[in-house]
């Protein structure tokens, strides 16, 4: 092994596994990633073997949610700056993260009901309902439900962070501001509304999206961005569905540890929307008329597949 001093730092060089490997006493892999505290953060309450899977599964979800919030803020800043190609790239990254999270439920689904019951009683009233990051992500995307901050009232720091996210423009708000800047008719009462209140669908905004989607070539930049945003909700809903099915597989229709109705509560969440008019306007879209007359037996509607 060779030792040298580079820029005042002791540096090492060695042939390892057929490669010339160098490292020093400066920043290490473990220092940069904080692997020691990260790998020490799993503290089972029960001592049962399968609790480790449950903990690591949820911790990794929290890490991915943290990254989604980080990227969502970036996408909003890019939309505010009219940097739409860059925003599209960021939205693609968020969608890919969500796809990874969808597949990760399959790991937790390997937990059988009998295995979960070995440690469920040790969890007390702790539940995913208490995830402040998940709530912040909902707020950042556009689903504002201020009453849900209540569960964090004993933690001033988390409460303050959620109140900031609640009062700030969401990703969907930034999309509406963008339409307003581009000359679309966006009601002033929508632009200037109280952002801490739940968003209510507006027919005028639905009309604006309908115009964009009915003529995508004329409005390609906005159309493409809207499809990226729609993909986020599509994957988010798939994540919610896989969550519901995993819970159903593991505990059936029992109530959650935090007192919710469990599967029934998760089913209700499938009806929640971040970008309502981007979905509702699709029902109003009309098919192009076939050249040379009607085809397909005269049926104007039907399943696209």
257 is known to lie in a ligand binding site: yes
What is d(CA 206, CA 210) in angstroms, rounded to the nearest whole number? 6
What is d(CA 50, CA 107) in angstroms, rounded to the nearest whole number? 12
Q: Is residue 184 part of a domain?
A: yes
Model pLDDT for residues 63-106, shown as the tens digit of each residue: 999 999 999 999 999 999 999 999 999 999 999 999 999 999 99
Q: Is residue 296 part of a domain?
A: no
58 is known to lie in a ligand binding site: no
145 is known to lie in a ligand binding site: no
Which of 280, 171, 161 is closest to 236 using CA atoms? Answer: 171
> Average pLDDT in the 33-46 region?
97
Model pLDDT for residues 46-69, shown as the tens digit of each residue: 999 999 999 999 999 999 999 999
Q: Is residue 301 part of a domain?
A: no
Q: Is residue 109 part of a domain?
A: yes
Q: Is residue 82 part of a domain?
A: yes
What is the side-by-side order of every strand in the sheet holding 19-24? 2-6, 9-16, 19-24
Q: Is residue 248 part of a domain?
A: yes
- Domain with residue 268: its CATH number is 1.20.58.480
Domain span including residue 280? 52-286
- Radius of gyration of the chain from Cα atoms? 24
Number of domains the chain contains: 1
Q: Is residue 29 part of a domain?
A: no
């Amino acid at each position: 092994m060779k030792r040298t001093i580079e820029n005042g730092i002791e540096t090492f060089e060695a042939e390892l596994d057929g490669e010339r490997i160098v490292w020093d006493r400066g920043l290490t892999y473990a220092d940069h990633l904080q692997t020691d505290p990260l790998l020490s953060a799993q503290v089972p309450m029960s001592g049962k073997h399968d609790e480790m899977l449950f903990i690591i599964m949820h911790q990794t979800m929290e890490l991915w949610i943290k990254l989604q919030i980080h990227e969502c803020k970036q996408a909003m800043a890019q939309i505010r700056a009219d940097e739409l190609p860059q925003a599209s790239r960021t939205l693609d990254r968020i969608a890919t993260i969500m796809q990874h999270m969808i597949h990760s439920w399959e790991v937790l689904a390997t937990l059988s009901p009998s295995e979960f019951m070995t440690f469920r009683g040790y969890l007390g009233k702790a539940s995913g309902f208490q995830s402040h990051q998940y709530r912040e992500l909902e707020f950042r995307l556009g689903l504002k439900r201020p009453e849900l901050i209540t569960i964090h009232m004993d933690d001033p720091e988390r409460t303050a962070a959620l109140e900031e996210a609640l009062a700030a423009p969401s990703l969907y708000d930034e999309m509406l501001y963008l339409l307003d800047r581009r000359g679309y008719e966006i009601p002033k009462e929508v632009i200037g509304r109280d952002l801490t209140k739940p968003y209510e669908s507006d027919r005028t905004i639905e009309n604006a999206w309908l115009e964009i989607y009915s003529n995508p070539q004329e409005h390609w930049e906005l159309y493409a961005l809207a499809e990226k945003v729609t993909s986020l909700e599509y994957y988010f809903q798939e994540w919610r569905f896989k969550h519901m099915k995993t819970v159903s597989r593991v505990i059936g229709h029992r109530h959650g540890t935090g007192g919710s109705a469990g599967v029934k509560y998760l089913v209700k969440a499938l009806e929640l929307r971040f970008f309502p008019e981007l979905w509702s306007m699709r029902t109003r879209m009309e098919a192009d008329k076939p050249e040379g007359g009607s085809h397909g037996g005269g049926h104007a509607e039907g399943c696209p597949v």
